[in-house]
Structure 1
Amino acid sequence: MSVWLKAACAALVVAIVCAPPARAQDAALLERGRHLVEVTGACGNCHTPMGPQGPVAGRTLAGGTVFDEPPFRAVAPNITPDPETGIGRWTDAQLARAIREGIRPDGSLIGPPMPMALYRGLSDRDLAAIVAFLRTVPPVRNPVERSVYRITLPPAWGPPVTSVPEPANNPVARGEYLANAVAHCMECHTPMLPTGQNDHTRLGAGGMEFRGPWGVSVARNLTPHANGLGGWTDAQIIRAITQGISANDRPLAPPMAFWAYRAMTPAELSDLVAYLRSLKPQE
């Protein structure tokens, strides 16, 4: 074998050994997407039909849940890959734009309660992971009615989003990213304006009412005020998030997605608590 051929073979071996396997990369991306959709993002809390015992079997992310509020009667869409009633015919770019900018392939705007102002902060990596995972969800044929808005939606939720980096590597920044861009905690725990958007001058103040089979639940104040989480320990906050038990041992009610958040990692929960502690106290 010539010296050149030996060198070429050696280089090829090095490239094969050193390059990360594509399958491993794909598996990591899909696992990240699964965690975002099923755990921290709890997408099924809105997009999976719920029965008396929780999520309806065989209807994961098939849509149909109705949110009837003064500003709108919104119906969660089917986000399974079904080509007729879901997202099966959407390209990856169209799906990514819908998630982060709230614009469907036909150019129409997605309205509340989809937290578009928060999803605009999804990092490029996490957005790609969500799109990749949604492609793997079993398709479910489930036509749903269109949402009806009693308010005028804006032309867009903001300028096009070109690129979003990962959050800064510190607990508060990671917790803020988790609470807003991913888990959208502040969508429910911040009062709503008549426009159907959150009042960000009262971030985390709670007070929104949610009606369902459980009755009426009121979003708690998540700020460090005495009326909020000011007297709670870190362990009590984490128990409330993952088990649905208040500091006074009272069971908490839906639509808080305890069923999903119980699988959050200890690091995620620690970051989330750090962020909640950093909020401006709200009465």
Structure 2
Amino acid sequence: MAICIGAAGSAIAADDLSRGQYLVEALAACDNCHTPRGPGGYDFSVRFSGGSQTFSGADYVARGSNISSDNETGVGGWGDDALRAAIIAGKGRDGTLAPAMPSDSYRVLTKDDLDGVIAFLRAAAPVRAPSAAPSQRHGAWAPHPLPGAEAPFDESARAVKIKRGLYIASVARCMACHSGEVEDAPDHVKKLGAGGKIFRTPAGVAVASNISAHREKGVGAWSDEDIKRAITQGVSRNGDPLKPPMSTLAKAHFAKMSPDDLDALIAYLRSIPAKE
């Protein structure tokens, strides 16, 4: 097995880096919140130095923090346990992270996949860039994981196609965007896949689509190829381009999804009961 040296000075297996890169770039889309954007898209010269978008809610204001390997302003000085806690439990070194950090979705990560993500972040170039906004949440915090994805998976669970699809849907945060909300939190019980979440972007306002099995309001009548095109190209069934953030995520990240993962994700989406 090939070995390289990460930014923190520890030996990192090449296959861990490769798996971590896939998770970061194709599924979790970490650049979307943690890498600055320019007119042409992500500015990879300062990758992971902090995002351009500010997220806010009733009790928090936050911007994607510096997760490069810089020791002072990034996470280079963080131990692996501290990084794990931030990624899957939303616990920063100074308090609870704002809910813009989707730890609920990442708690499903297998041990090996979580280690791969950390390995890839460790190997990223350090960028000195202090955080531009506070990142801690004030007030009560309650997790809202996707049903069935409340705890780390093991490899045997991912061997089952529909469970593998659930795993991908959680890491890619599909239902965090496409489930209806109650008090700014996804309702995965009554509104799983029903859509309705509002996004306000520089390109305008977009409403998350219904992706349940409903044949008129959801994707029940869509073919697998229709759904694949929407996920990986940002194009609707009728050929119209989808609005950001879905179009951005599709082209920059989900287009890199492996065929097997894409098939498993669709199998899971097909299992979501029809919602109005």
- TM-score category of the 2 structures, normalised to the smaller one: 0.7 to 0.9
Structure 1 residue 74: Cα displacement: 2.3
Tell me, yes or no, if the aligned pair for 1:192 and 1:198 is still in contact at 8 Å: yes
How many angstroms apart in 1 are the aligned matches of 2:125 and 2:104?
29
Q: Which moved more, 1:57-66 or 1:25-34?
A: 57-66
How many angstroms apart in 2 are the aligned matches of 1:131 and 1:279?
32
Q: Does 2:186 match 1:193?
A: no
Choose from 61, 74, 97 the match for 1:86: 74
Choose from 193, 196, 212 the match for 1:223: 212
Cα pair distance change 1:109/1:241, threshold 3 Å: same
How many angstroms apart in 1 are the aligned matches of 2:217 and 2:144?
32
Name the SS for the 2:47 alignment partner: coil
How many angstroms apart in 2 are the aligned matches of 1:274 and 1:265?
14
How many angstroms apart in 2 are the aligned matches of 1:210 and 1:171?
31
Say what the alpha-carbon RMSD is for the aligned residues: 2.3
Percent identity, aligned pairs only, is 42
Name the SS for the 1:28 alignment partner: helix
Q: Does 2:24 match 1:37?
A: yes
Name the SS for the 1:118 alignment partner: helix
Cα pair distance change 1:176/1:104, threshold 3 Å: same
Structure 1 residue 68: Cα displacement: 3.2
Name the SS for the 1:200 alignment partner: coil
* TM-score normalized with structure 1 length: 0.84
Cα pair distance change 1:163/1:56, threshold 3 Å: closer
Once the two structures are superposed, residues 226-246 of structure 1 have per-residue CA deviations (whole angstroms, 9 ceiling, x without a partner) of: 201112110010001111100
Matched residue, 1:3: none
Cα pair distance change 1:70/1:228, threshold 3 Å: farther
Q: Does 2:262 match 1:263?
A: no
Name the SS for the 1:179 alignment partner: helix
Tell me, yes or no, if the aligned pair for 1:116 and 1:157 is still in contact at 8 Å: no
Choose from 221, 225, 230 the match for 1:240: 230
Matched residue, 2:8: none
Choose from 251, 276, 280 the match for 2:273: 280
Cα pair distance change 1:157/1:192, threshold 3 Å: closer
How many angstroms apart in 2 are the aligned matches of 1:270 and 1:90?
36
Matched residue, 2:9: none
Matched residue, 1:172: 162
How many angstroms apart in 2 are the aligned matches of 1:244 and 1:162?
30
Structure 1 residue 219: Cα displacement: 0.9
* TM-score normalized with structure 2 length: 0.86
Structure 1 residue 277: Cα displacement: 0.2
How many angstroms apart in 2 are the aligned matches of 1:156 and 1:69?
15
Larger radius of gyration: 1
What 5-or-longer segments of structure 2 have no aligned partner?
5-11
Q: Does 2:193 match 1:204?
A: yes
Paired positions, count: 257
Matched residue, 1:74: 62
Letter in 2 for 1:199: D
How many angstroms apart in 1 are the aligned matches of 2:83 and 2:19?
17
Matched residue, 2:3: 23
